[in-house]
Amino acid sequence: MIEGLYSFQNIFKIPELKRRVLVTAGLLAAYRVGAHVPTPGIDGHALSQFFDQAANTLLGMVDLFSGGNLRRLSVFALGIMPYISASIILQLLVVVIPALERLSKEGEAGRKKITQYTRYGTILLSIVQSLGIAYGLESMRSPNGLAIVPRPGWGFRLLTVLTLTAGTALVMWLGEQISERGIGNGISLIIFAGIVVRLPSAVVASYTLITTGELPILLFLFILLMMVAVTAAVVLMQEGERKIPVQYAKRVVGRRVYGGQSTHIPLRINTAGVIPVIFAASLILFPATLTRFVPHPWMQAVADALSPGRFTYTMFYCALIIFFTYFYTAIVFNPIDLADNMKKYGGFIPGVRPGKKTSEYIDRTLTRITLPGAIFLAMISVLPDFMIRWFNVPFYFGGTSLLIVVGVALDTVRQMESHLLTRHYEGFLKKSKTRAVR
């Protein structure tokens, strides 16, 4: 405990890291302030009653990813999901459209251009989603029969589109600023903040259920142990890796001898981290949200089929997570470039020929170890649905949210650790540092 506090104190001894941490905290605080600014023209009490009734449905899951903003219909009600959806679309288009593929390989200039296209796509998706939400809200009523929109019409619709689109643009800007000037991935941290901020109210609600006898204490302890076990499993899978040995041949340059050392390539079981879960949730929530707000029998049937707990939702969600795990791993890890760099500097894998054979070996190994990681992500993500159905209790800190919280926390701590270690400070993960020295 004391050693951990000492490591955190080291953060404030490095001016750059201290500035990044404070910038991140400040921008996240600004995001939470904006989450309490309501959209005009809404009866907040009636909307809250409606979401209380839809707690364990698709709208409840959408509200989870928006950090509770959809329940209040704040200016950040759409959250960061349109930006994630636009990013997915652009990354898929880069694979299938040669012009975008060439643009992605043009370095910093190409990356900025694709980011600009992503922003345009975010605005377009925000307009479509906010207009669908405005139409849907006009036809909704609370359980008591109160109209959620007292004065419907085009004035309300245009104002809602303008407000929610501007809010999404601001959230997108905050996420980019955190990634550029702060610490960690800004988009993931915004989702992280929206989930964590609900933890105190969940603890209070659980305590109320226990005191009233609605939630047996033994069942609560069992759920708590399950959460601890799932958290430990998430950490284990996030940090697990396969080490491929690499040997560097000796080279004589002038009077000096280079190489002749042994090292390894750390291939992580879950290279993509928590991104596949966020991508899959975004992709499954976008069409389901639109169909939920369209009063048509066919659209309602689609929305019901994509509601949490349904077999179609579970299978589609798991398939998307597995797909995006492989897809994102292929984007961030290039075995061909790695094999070429190894060959250039005289490195080789024992028993494998340099060049093409090395890249094929790395790709085959990565494909094999990614499968259990993808299946694990899918299983943890749908676990809360089964827990809710089996025990009929509110599972406030579910698998998807738990994966995001643990994954983002580990990634942020890892970045802080790299800042500390590069400046000769002792980091948080001392055991891993000891193994690296050996």
Which helix (H) or strand (E) segment holds residue 246: the answer is: strand 241-248
Sheet (strand 241-248) strand order: 262-268, 241-248, 347-348
CA distance between the termini of the chain: 25
- Using alpha carbons, list the distances in angstroms from residue 14 to 11, 130, 163, 189: 6, 43, 40, 22
- Please report the pLDDT score of residue 431 as a whole number: 47
Alpha carbon distance 358, 374 (integer Å): 24
- Cβ proximity of 41 and 160 under 8 Å: yes
* pLDDT tens by residue, 287-325: 666 665 556 677 667 767 776 667 787 888 889 889 989
Helix runs in 213-296, H state only? 217-239, 275-292
- Cβ proximity of 117 and 159 under 8 Å: no
CB atoms within 10 A of CB 112: 12
* pLDDT tens by residue, 330-344: 887 888 888 888 888
Alpha carbon distance 362, 335 (integer Å): 6
- Please report the pLDDT score of residue 165 as a whole number: 92
Tokens standing for residue 170: 């601001």
Mean pLDDT of the chain, nearest integer: 76
pLDDT value at 159 more than 80: yes
- Cβ proximity of 418 and 20 under 8 Å: no
Q: Sorting pLDDT into bands at 50, 70 and 90, what band is 123?
A: very high
Length of the chain: 438
Q: Sorting pLDDT into bands at 50, 70 and 90, what band is 52?
A: low
Alpha carbon distance 74, 37 (integer Å): 5
Q: Sorting pLDDT into bands at 50, 70 and 90, what band is 401?
A: confident
Alpha carbon distance 391, 38 (integer Å): 35
Alpha carbon distance 242, 201 (integer Å): 40
Specify the range with the lowest mean pLDDT, choosing from 37-51, 61-75, 347-361: 61-75
Walk me through the domains of the chain, giving residue ranges and CATH numbers. 241-397 (1.10.3370.10)
- Please report the pLDDT score of residue 65 as a whole number: 56
Question: Average pLDDT in the 353-379 region?
Answer: 88
- Please report the pLDDT score of residue 266 as a whole number: 86
- Tell me if residue 50 falls in helix, strand or coil: helix
3-state helix, strand, coil in the chain (%, to 5): 70, 5, 25
Specify the range with the lowest mean pLDDT, choosing from 3-12, 149-158, 380-389, 407-416: 3-12
Residues 349, 352, 354, 356, Cα dihedral to 10°: -120
- Tell me if residue 26 falls in helix, strand or coil: helix
In the chain, what percentage of residues exceed pLDDT 70? 76
| Bridge partners, residue 246, by sequence | 263
Alpha carbon distance 292, 362 (integer Å): 44
pLDDT value at 373 more than 80: yes
Specify the range with the lowest mean pLDDT, choosing from 5-9, 158-162, 232-236, 398-402: 5-9
Question: Average pLDDT in the 33-40 region?
Answer: 81
Residue with the bigger pLDDT between 9 and 108: it is: 108
pLDDT value at 121 more than 60: yes
Half-sphere exposure at residue 330, Cβ-oriented, CA atoms within 13 angstroms: 12
Q: Taking the mean position of all CA atoms in its chain, how far away is CA 251?
A: 44
Question: Average pLDDT in the 372-386 region?
Answer: 81
Residue with the bigger pLDDT between 417 and 423: it is: 417
pLDDT value at 253 more than 70: no
Half-sphere exposure at residue 435, Cβ-oriented, CA atoms within 13 angstroms: 6
Which helix (H) or strand (E) segment holds residue 256: the answer is: strand 256-258
Q: Which long-range contacts (CB under 8 A, 24 or more apart) does 87-95 make?
A: 87/118, 88/279, 88/282, 88/283, 89/121, 90/114, 90/117, 90/118, 90/121, 91/327, 91/331
- Cβ proximity of 49 and 144 under 8 Å: yes
Question: Average pLDDT in the 346-368 region?
Answer: 86
- Using alpha carbons, list the distances in angstroms from residue 367 to 67, 320, 392: 34, 17, 38
* pLDDT tens by residue, 202-223: 777 777 777 877 777 887 788 7
- Tell me if residue 381 falls in helix, strand or coil: helix
* pLDDT tens by residue, 173-209: 998 899 888 888 888 888 888 778 777 777 777 777 7
Alpha carbon distance 22, 11 (integer Å): 11
- Cβ proximity of 317 and 381 under 8 Å: yes
